[in-house]
Amino acid sequence: MWRGEPGADMPDGDLADDLANEAAAHRSALDAVELAALVAAGRFHDALPIARAAAGASPLDEGAHALLMECLLGAGRPNEALEVFAGLRGRLADRLGVDPSARLVDLNATILRGGHEAAGTAAEAESAAGAEDATRLLPNRIGLRAAPNPLLGRTADLAALELLLASSRVVTVLGPGGTGKTRVAHALGDEVSARMPVALVELAPLRSGEDLIAAISSTLGLSENDLTPGGLTRARIHDARQRLRDALSARPMLLILDNCEHLIDDVADVVSDLVFASPHLTVLATSRAPMAITAESVYPLPPLAIGDDGSPAIELFRARALAVRPSVRLDRGEVERLCRTLDGLPLAIELAAARARTMSVEEINARLVDRFALLRSGDRTSPERHRTLHAVIEWSWNLLEDPERAALRRLCRFPGGFTAGAAEAVAQWGEIGEVADALEGLVNQSMLSVTENPEMPGLRYYMLETVREFGEEQSDADEAAEVLVRTVDWAERFSREAFDDFMSGRQIVAAHRVEAEHDNLLAVLRYAHSKQLARAVFTIFPVIGGMWSMRGAHSEVFTWVPRLLELDTSGFDPEDVPGDLLASAYVLAASHMAMGGKPRAVAIARTRLRRLLATRTDISESSRMYARLLLVPGSGRGLARMLAKAVRSADPGARSSALVARANLRENNGDLFGSESDARRALVLAEESNDSWGLAMVCQHLGSLYAQSASYGRAIGYYRRSAEILWAMHLYDESLQVRGFLVAALIGAGRIADARAELAALAPVHSGAASSGASSDHDLHNQAALSASTAEADLAVGAVDRGLAEYRRAAGYAGDLDGDLPADPFELMVVSGVVDAHVLAGRPEPIAELALRLEAGAVARLGSRGYPDLPQTGAVACAVGSFHIATGRGAADRALRLLALATRVRARQDYPSMRLDRHLDAARTVLGDDVVAAALESAQGASRAAARLEILDLLVAGSS
């Protein structure tokens, strides 16, 4: 027992720090219990001091602030509760770029209305917050757009398609353009999303089958980044198709592929492969032609029924006509005749209804009869309904003003939709004096649709693929050439602005903008490369390539780098391409070629980067720092000196980059305090500059540092903050990875209920991949981490058999040390945890072979040929030493020496079963307190480097 602060009377050191941290954790737990009791008893005034302290200690913790608001409301101080919400909302926006959760917003709204939301216990509040976080897997609706108006006449079709989806793995909705296939697919996806995730991928913008895998992966937000403990970010070049297989195997899901006809053979190949490899996947496709694969069921989408008053086609025309002119006279016979003339095609009916603004139904019918008479005397080789639709679009085209026609011809080149600003840049010239008026006219004539995204300012305009095809047919060569020039100029200007946003602390906005323009930028990048437009390529690639890299789509970058290096940039000056963009392009090139094992390409990129740094003066210090890191020799010579100088740079960006690099280096060398110091300094800089990506990475690193030091309570906040920022940037896969590490930290901190809530949300991913068999490194790491966390949760509640079995599954996912050398350090960490857990449970025999394999293979993996990571080396030493002490195999002194040296190299303790104190206690039980104390005292004299070398020598001796 202490008076005052526990440990305050002890000398500085690890023991005092551990004691203070342990005491703080107990104090926090007691405060939570007291707060829960006071709130449950309705004693809000007494609860307020504790609630204020909890919120003050965690300025971004929504659960703590919700409790404080409830206490203030219960104490009759609603205005103060509203101020708490306003303050938290401001901090979340400033630091993370996100809004408060729906739960907190609802509570604030209740207070504003003068209501009183019953306050639950603190435990309930925290569980609610945890449950809300736990529901954040990938969004249940990806790519689905809200319906602009009710879908009429498709109830039977939707029901039939639902039945087909229940019995068939692949369903293709067939029909010519204008039958409403896309609208039906969105509606069906909306219904299905209530019970399983749905992702809709628009294939109309694609011009080549080679982009199909990338388009699906990009829509799903799949990543090749491995944010495994022990490093800020590890990325690999994975097989993109295998990565997609693994992701779609994770849980039941509906994948909708819209507008497949122009890539039908490639789509058939990919879909056939995916449904074979992903037993939980169902695919819905829309196309003008079937895939002709064995898994496919075809549903020809009929035109809308025409008949009695109230039939779908008549109702559609009636609704749309009344929307444009409420006073329109709708004679039933005339409307029916019109719908029959239009073959019941929804798009044709909607376009015709738009004419009701200035014409009667009888006049519309007369014009249609004349037009079809002309049409049928022309080309009779196209299908009747296609000719009908073409005629209606042509009629709508002829009714447009000249500026509106010009706008449609010019804007149909945007495959991914466009903003008003993009339309102005590309289309506002010649006969178009004000593009906004032309856009309004096209929307009024139903030639454009409009959407609004709450995460981005302004409207976005989309053109149906059928209308885009028509628009392209109307352009002459001179206009098309001018449009291409202007589109390239727009893409270059957009890329420069987005790059500046990213470098200037507006990363979340930049990420969302680039995400929205991805298809357009990629189309321009392809065109620029085909025409050898080096300036455009080197302006656009750093932006779209940077987004691919952040999202882990490294295969995309890897594919583009050889094309990039074909182009010569030696004659560029700052007016052509800014130095930071050029440097970023070559940094992406060099780093990805190194990952892909392409030494010649790496040499080319490094040579050009070196020349760039020597000749250009418009490169920021931050960009120079990244470039210099890539130019360090493979031996690492000069790196420490360079970083020591850079961390004192006057430029915040360069200082931050150097601190992050040195934090990672120090962690690998076992200097956890130095790594923490650098990471904390980088954290401050990231917060000051609003560097969201840097903040997420540094928070993940700090969470990993604290977790591997067994300071699990301190790791939780950093892991959670990192996951939230990544989610806000739409980096969903990375966010889920970090949440997996969060689970282990929650268990280590004794918050089993919260950990279970997270695991429950992640369980579909876990069990789905387990049943289908993940196979890429990325997914296997995720599965290994989830299995290890699940095992720890079981062990924490006494389910020993189940927990150890789950840990053995984790070893299988991690590779059982059977992979090629050098192995990833994460594999070693998981296997060490498996051995540790069995030793502490008193059941080492089931993993005896694995433990011996760990001992035999660790030197190759952690020595000069492998990955020289001191904390990982310590984790292996702890596991092997503890195993031999528990089983009595081998020399006890060697085993104890391994365990003692593990404390010197700061062995990783990411999972509770890896805690050094538990293994030392187990050793004391077998060997006695004095023997263990002597071994620890003897090890204190060894430096970290010497301890690492001795551990490797002892492992060699034991395995020989």
Tens-digit pLDDT profile for residues 637-654: 888 899 999 999 999 999
Q: Pick the more confident residue, 10 or 111.
A: 111
Q: Which strand ranges, in their side-by-side order, compose the sheet holding 418-419?
A: 418-419, 459-462, 449-452
Contact 686, 695 (CB under 8 A): yes
Two tokens, residue 485 = 């020039």
**222 pLDDT exceeds 80?**
no
Q: What is the pLDDT of residue 122?
A: 33
Q: Pick the more confident residue, 370 or 783.
A: 783
Strands (E) across 160-269 are located at: 170-174, 198-202, 225-226, 234-235, 253-258
Q: What is the pLDDT of residue 768?
A: 47
**Mean pLDDT value across residues 502-518:** 91
Q: Which of 307, 373, 368 is nearest to 338 (CA)?
A: 368
**424 pLDDT exceeds 90?**
yes
**530 pLDDT exceeds 70?**
yes
- How far is 199 from 255, CA to CA, in rounded Å? 5
Tens-digit pLDDT profile for residues 888-898: 987 899 999 99
**712 pLDDT exceeds 50?**
yes
Contact 292, 166 (CB under 8 A): no
Contact 593, 621 (CB under 8 A): no
Q: DSSP class of residue 301?
A: -
**156 pLDDT exceeds 90?**
no
Q: What is the pLDDT of residue 239?
A: 64
Judged on CB neighbours under 10 Å (0-12, 13-18, 19+), 476 is exposed
Q: What is the pLDDT of residue 870?
A: 92
Determine the 3-state secondary structure of 743 from DSSP: helix
Q: What is the pLDDT of residue 235?
A: 46
**Mean pLDDT value across residues 361-376:** 69
Tens-digit pLDDT profile for residues 242-263: 878 877 876 789 999 998 988 9
Tens-digit pLDDT profile for residues 663-702: 999 998 889 999 999 999 999 999 999 999 999 999 999 9
**Mean pLDDT value across residues 821-842:** 84
Determine the 3-state secondary structure of 170 from DSSP: strand
Two tokens, residue 285 = 């496709």
Q: What is the pLDDT of residue 271?
A: 95
816 band by pLDDT with thresholds 50, 70 and 90 = low
**Averaged confidence pLDDT in the chain:** 84
- How far is 875 from 776, CA to CA, in rounded Å? 25
Q: What is the pLDDT of residue 386?
A: 52
Q: Which of 336-340, 771-775, 928-932 has the highest mean pLDDT?
A: 928-932
Q: Which helix (H) or strand (E) holds 95?
A: none
Question: Under 8 Å CB-to-CB from 652, ≥6 apart: which residues?
Answer: 685, 688, 689
Q: What is the pLDDT of residue 340?
A: 84
* Beta pairing partners, 462: 449
Two tokens, residue 38 = 């006071």
Give percent of the chain above pLDDT 70.
Answer: 84
Judged on CB neighbours under 10 Å (0-12, 13-18, 19+), 196 is middle
Question: Under 8 Å CB-to-CB from 357, ≥6 apart: which residues?
Answer: 324, 325, 444
- How far is 626 from 654, CA to CA, in rounded Å? 8
**Mean pLDDT value across residues 194-220:** 85
Supply the angle between the helices 122-134 and 14-40 in degrees, to the nearest 10: 110
Q: HSE-up of 681 (CA within 13 Å, CB side)?
A: 19
Contact 462, 417 (CB under 8 A): yes
Q: What is the pLDDT of residue 177?
A: 74
Determine the 3-state secondary structure of 235 from DSSP: strand
- How far is 760 from 742, CA to CA, in rounded Å? 13
- How far is 339 from 331, CA to CA, in rounded Å? 12
Of 443-452, 581-590, 883-892, 923-932, give the lowest mean pLDDT range: 443-452
Contact 582, 572 (CB under 8 A): yes
**Mean pLDDT value across residues 622-647:** 88
- How far is 381 from 383, CA to CA, in rounded Å? 7
List Cα–Cα distances, 520 to 211, 413, 416, 581, 715, in angstroms. 13, 9, 6, 19, 40
Question: Under 8 Å CB-to-CB from 935, ≥6 apart: which residues?
Answer: 896, 897, 899, 900
283 band by pLDDT with thresholds 50, 70 and 90 = very high
Q: Which of 70, 71, 65, 69 is nearest to 88 (CA)?
A: 65
**740 pLDDT exceeds 70?**
yes
630 band by pLDDT with thresholds 50, 70 and 90 = confident
Q: Pick the more confident residue, 373 or 698.
A: 698
- How far is 653 from 686, CA to CA, in rounded Å? 9
List Cα–Cα distances, 426 to 26, 429, 514, in angstroms. 63, 8, 18
What string of DSSP letters covers 537-603?
HHHHHHHHHHHHHHTT-HHHHHHHHHHHHTS--TT--TTTS-HHHHHHHHHHHHHHHHHTT-HHHHH
Q: What is the pLDDT of residue 368?
A: 77
Q: What is the pLDDT of residue 103?
A: 65
Q: What is the pLDDT of residue 234?
A: 46
CA 429 from chain centre, in angstroms, equals: 39
- How far is 446 from 462, CA to CA, in rounded Å? 11
H helices within 773-906, ranges in order?
A: 777-796, 800-814, 825-840, 848-862, 870-887, 892-904
Task: Evaluate the omega torsion of the peptide bond into residue 822 and state whether it is cis, within 30 degrees of 0.
Answer: yes
- How far is 633 from 629, CA to CA, in rounded Å? 9
Q: What is the pLDDT of residue 693?
A: 92
Which is it for the CA torsion 604, 606, 607, 609, positive or negative?
A: positive
Q: Which of 552-556, 639-643, 759-763 has the highest mean pLDDT?
A: 639-643
Tens-digit pLDDT profile for residues 3-48: 556 655 666 666 666 666 566 655 666 676 677 677 767 788 888 8
- Where do we find the tokens 């989610």? 727
Q: What is the pLDDT of residue 40?
A: 66
Tens-digit pLDDT profile for residues 880-889: 999 999 999 8
Q: What is the pLDDT of residue 127?
A: 39
Question: Under 8 Å CB-to-CB from 447, ≥6 apart: which residues?
Answer: 396, 400, 404, 408, 463, 467
Q: Which of 911, 889, 912, 915 is nearest to 899 (CA)?
A: 915
Of 333-342, 391-400, 585-594, 832-841, give the lowest mean pLDDT range: 391-400
Of 47-51, 117-121, 475-479, 762-766, give the lowest mean pLDDT range: 117-121
- How far is 844 from 785, CA to CA, in rounded Å? 21
Q: What is the pLDDT of residue 828?
A: 86
